[in-house]
């Protein structure tokens, strides 16, 4: 597979935020969200075998691994990699943009699925049938640029009863959306939404 980077840091998002994690960032993405902060992963990277990836992950002595991108599901070999990590006892998280089929993902893997809001420019790529393949351990994330995105996300949450099934994460675009303002919106909404700030950016860690 083509890998952009493998590194050890603090998980900045999801219900695992604040915990140590090894990140395996795969190269390539089929989306071009206007607020994307990882455009450097669109191309380049280096070819690595599963054995080479596992060897590097083991060096960090951390039992939590996130497979991210780009869009990791673009590379078919990711399924075997995630399965091997789970076989070795790692807690494996998958960060996916929600536009590609998640039905093949090993049930041991925690799927963190991003539903694209209108301001991303990619909301038309949401694969809504993926919601049927999420389990109680999986999480749904919305990255929000403004109030219109928030209202859209809340409508989706209500229509599909997402908070009854999953942790629902509301993430302001870093540097564009004031999280204090969003906190007020969440309280007013009456929904069981989790405000998440990109902790790794606040801490300025990789």
Mean pLDDT of each 10-residue bin along the chain, 206 residues long:
96 94 98 94 97 98 97 98 98 97 98 97 97 97 97 98 97 92 97 92 77
Provide the CATH number for the domain around residue 117. 3.20.20.70
Domain coverage including residue 187:
2-203
Check residue 199 and give its pLDDT: 85
What's the domain count of the chain?
Answer: 1
Q: State the helix-helix crossing angle for 147-160 and 179-189, rounded to 10 degrees.
A: 30
Listed residue (149, 157, 206, 205) closest to 182, CA to CA: 149
Check residue 205 and give its pLDDT: 75
Residue in the structure block whose two tokens are 């590379």: 75
What's the number of CA atoms in the CB half-sphere (13 Å) around residue 18? 3
Phi, psi of 18 (to 5 degrees): 95, -10
């Amino acid at each position: 597979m083509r890998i952009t980077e493998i590194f050890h840091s603090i998980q900045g998002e999801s219900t695992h935020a604040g915990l140590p994690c090894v990140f395996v960032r795969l190269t390539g993405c089929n989306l071009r969200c206007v607020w994307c902060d990882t455009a450097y992963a669109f191309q380049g990277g280096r070819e690595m075998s599963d054995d080479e990836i596992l060897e590097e992950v083991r060096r960090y002595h951390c039992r939590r691994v996130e497979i991210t991108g780009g869009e990791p599901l673009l590379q078919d070999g990711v399924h075997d990699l995630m399965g091997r990590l789970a076989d070795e006892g790692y807690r494996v998280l998958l960060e996916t943009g929600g536009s590609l089929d998640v039905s093949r993902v090993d049930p041991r893997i925690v799927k963190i699925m991003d539903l694209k809001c209108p301001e991303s420019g990619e909301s038309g790529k949401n694969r809504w049938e993926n919601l049927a393949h999420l389990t109680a351990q999986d999480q749904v994330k919305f990255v929000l640029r403004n109030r219109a995105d928030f209202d859209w996300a809340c409508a989706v949450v209500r229509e599909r009863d997402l908070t009854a099934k999953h942790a629902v994460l509301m993430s302001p675009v870093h540097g564009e959306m004031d999280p204090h303002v969003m906190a007020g919106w969440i309280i007013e909404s009456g929904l069981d939404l989790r405000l998440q700030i990109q902790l790794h950016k606040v801490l300025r860690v990789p």
